Chains A and B, each alone.
Chain A
Amino acid sequence: MKVIIKIAWRNIWRNPVRSLVIIVSIVLGLWAGTFVSALYYGMGEDRVTIAIENEISHIQIHHPEYRKEHKVKYFISYNDTIQQALKTTPNIKAWSARSMALGMITSTTNSNGIQVNGVDPANEDSTTHLGAKIIEGQYLGSGKANQIIVGQKLAEKMKLKLKSKVVLTFIDKDENMAAGAFKVAGIFKSDNSSWDDANVFVKRAELNPLMGLDSSDVHEVAVLLTTNRLVDTTEALLKKQLPQYRVESWMEIAPDINTIISVMSSASVIFVVIILMALSFGIINIMLMAVLERTRELGMMIALGMTRFRVFVLVVTETFFLVMLGCPVGMLAGFGTIRYLYIHGFDYSASAGQSMAKLGFKSVLHPDLPLGQYEQIIVLVIITALLSAIFPAVKAVRLNPAQTIKS
Chain B
Amino acid sequence: MSNIVIDAINLNKTYNPDTIPVKAIDGVSLQMQRGEFAALVGPSGSGKTTLLNLLGGLDKPDSGSILINGTDITKLSENRLVDYRLHNIGFIFQAYNLVPVLTARENVEFIMLLQNIGKAEREQRVANLLNQVGLGDKMNVRPSQLSGGQQQRVAVARALASKPQFILADEPTANLDSHSASNLLDIMAMLNKEENMTFIFSTHDQRVIERARRVITLVDGKVTSDTGLVKTQPA
Q: Is this pair of chains taken from one and the same complex?
A: yes
Measured in the bound complex, the distance between the Cα atoms of B49 and A272 in whole Å is 52
A167 within 8 A of B: no
Main secondary structure of the interface of A (DSSP, over half): helix
Which B residues are in CB contact (< 8 Å) with A401? 58
Q: Is the CB of B96 within 8 A of A304?
A: no
Give A95 Cβ to nearest chain B Cβ, in Å. Answer: 71
State which of B49, B79, B99, B113 has its C-beta within 8 Å of the C-beta of A297: B99
Q: Is the CB of A7 within 8 A of B102?
A: yes
Which of B91, B101, B162 gathers most chain A CB within 10 Å?
B101
State which of A7, A300, A402 has its C-beta within 8 Å of the C-beta of B59: A402
A10 within 8 A of B: yes
Interface residues of B in 64-96 (CB under 8 A from A): 79, 82-87, 91, 93, 96
Q: Is the CB of A304 within 8 A of B58?
A: no
Given A296-B96, A300-B93, A300-B96: A402 and B53 within 8 A (CB)? yes
Give the total of B residues in contact with A, Cβ under 8 Å.
29
Given A297-B96, A402-B53: A11 and B82 within 8 A (CB)? no
Give B148 Cβ to nearest chain A Cβ, in Å. Answer: 16
Measured in the bound complex, the distance between the Cα atoms of B59 and A304 in whole Å is 13
Which bucket holds chain A's interface residue count? Answer: 20 to 34
Contact indicator per residue, chain A 374-406, by CB within 8 Å of chain B (1) or not (0): 000000000000000000000000000110011
A292 within 8 A of B: no
Measured in the bound complex, the distance between the Cα atoms of B95 and A296 in whole Å is 9
Q: Is the CB of A3 within 8 A of B113?
A: yes
Which of B58, B86, B102 gathers most chain A CB within 10 Å?
B58
Measured in the bound complex, the distance between the Cα atoms of B59 and A3 in whole Å is 27
Measured in the bound complex, the distance between the Cα atoms of B115 and A291 in whole Å is 24
State which of B49, B97, B106 has its C-beta within 8 Å of the C-beta of A3: B106
A229 within 8 A of B: no
Given A307-B79, A401-B58, A402-B59: A300 and B97 within 8 A (CB)? yes
Which A residues are in CB contact (< 8 Å) with B82? 302, 305-308
Given A401-B58, A406-B49: A305 and B99 within 8 A (CB)? no
Interface residues of B in 108-125 (CB under 8 A from A): 109-111, 113-115
A122 within 8 A of B: no
Q: Is the CB of A304 within 8 A of B83?
A: no
Q: Is the CB of B87 within 8 A of A7?
A: no
A68 within 8 A of B: no
Measured in the bound complex, the distance between the Cα atoms of B201 and A61 in whole Å is 94
Measured in the bound complex, the distance between the Cα atoms of B115 and A360 in whole Å is 67
Which of B49, B96, B109 gathers most chain A CB within 10 Å?
B96
Q: Please name the residue on chain B nearest to A309 by beta carbon.
A: B79
Give 8 closest A-B pairs by Cβ, nearest first: A305-B86, A10-B101, A402-B58, A402-B59, A296-B96, A305-B85, A3-B113, A402-B53
With contacts A6-B106, A305-B85 known, what are 19 further pairs, Cβ within 8 A? A2-B113, A3-B109, A7-B99, A10-B101, A10-B102, A14-B101, A300-B93, A300-B97, A305-B83, A305-B86, A305-B87, A305-B114, A305-B162, A306-B82, A306-B86, A306-B114, A307-B82, A308-B79, A401-B58
